[in-house]
Amino acid sequence: MKAHIAASAFILLASSAFAADLPGRNQPLAPAPYQPYLRAPAPTAQWSGFYIGGAAGYLALQSENTKVRGFEIGARAGHDQQFGALVGGGFLEADASFAKGEVANYKAKAPFKLGAYARLGYEITPETLAYGLGGVTFLDMKVKTTAANPPGSAIGFGLGVGMEKKLAANWSLFGEYRVHRLWTDNDRTFNALEAKVGINYRFGTDQHPLFARY
């Protein structure tokens, strides 16, 4: 009987001690332990890297005695480097042209055009780049005329402005407008206006500008 009473008393005391450790109804709960979390990095457009692209446009040449106009298609390859909101780089391009014209006894066409350009841009938003460009332009010309010493090629410089818009992680759409001043191989000069739109594929860009990686 004594052993039974002692065992009952021990169980009662143990239950009371366990209940004392539980928070009371009016006792505030302990705060949850602090768990640091990682924030997503700020979204970036990642304009840096090599790219290739294609474009279509319209070319208009004009001098005193002839006008040569028509559509063109071409390809380009370039590299950009981003420094904060500034993006600098350059590209090479080649265009096949369907521009042609005729004035009196003067028939001309421009089968292809080559160019090497530098560009400097400003990132308006992480997905939008506005830029200026300038460089060297070479134009091949085919001329049929009864006049002596017709031009066969022209070289000069081009200046322009453009805008590029990110479509996805690696793809972007661009539009440009340029003004050229060219000198022919028979010491004549003429101006050229050019507008084009195209698409670029940028290598090494694996992050979408609108979504950040964790």
pLDDT in tens, 14-34: 555 545 555 555 555 566 666
Confidence category of residue 213, pLDDT binned at 50, 70, 90: very low
- Within a domain: residue 210? no
Q: Is residue 33 situated within a structural domain?
A: no
State the pLDDT confidence band at 190, using cuts at 50, 70 and 90: confident
Residue 26 and residue 84: Cα distance in Å, rounded? 56
Query: How far apart are the C-alpha atoms of 2 and 145, rounded to whole Å?
Result: 133
Is 117 a member of any domain?
yes
CATH code where residue 144 lies: 2.40.160.20
Instruction: Tell which wins on pLDDT, 44 or 187.
Output: 187
How far apart, in whole angstroms, are the C-alpha atoms of residue 52 and residue 94? Answer: 12
* E-only strand ranges, 127-170: 128-140, 142-145, 153-166
Residue 110 lies in a domain: yes
Residue 81 lies in a domain: yes
Write the pLDDT tens digit of every residue in 69-123.
999 999 999 999 999 999 999 999 999 999 988 766 778 888 999 999 999 999 9
CA distance 143 to 151: 7
Higher pLDDT, 114 or 61: 114
Domain count, the chain: 1
Section 124-144 average pLDDT: 92
Residue 166 inside a domain? The answer is: yes
- How many other C-beta atoms are found inside a 10 Å radius of the C-beta of residue 81? 11
What's the whole-number average pLDDT of the chain? 81
Whether this prediction's pTM lies above 0.85 is answered by no
Selected residue with higher pLDDT from 168 and 113: 113
Q: Is residue 11 part of a domain?
A: no
Please give the pLDDT value at position 68: 87
**Domain span including residue 63:** 49-202
Is 157 among the domain residues? Answer: yes
C-alpha dist (Å) from residue 164 to 84, 99, 122: 17, 26, 10
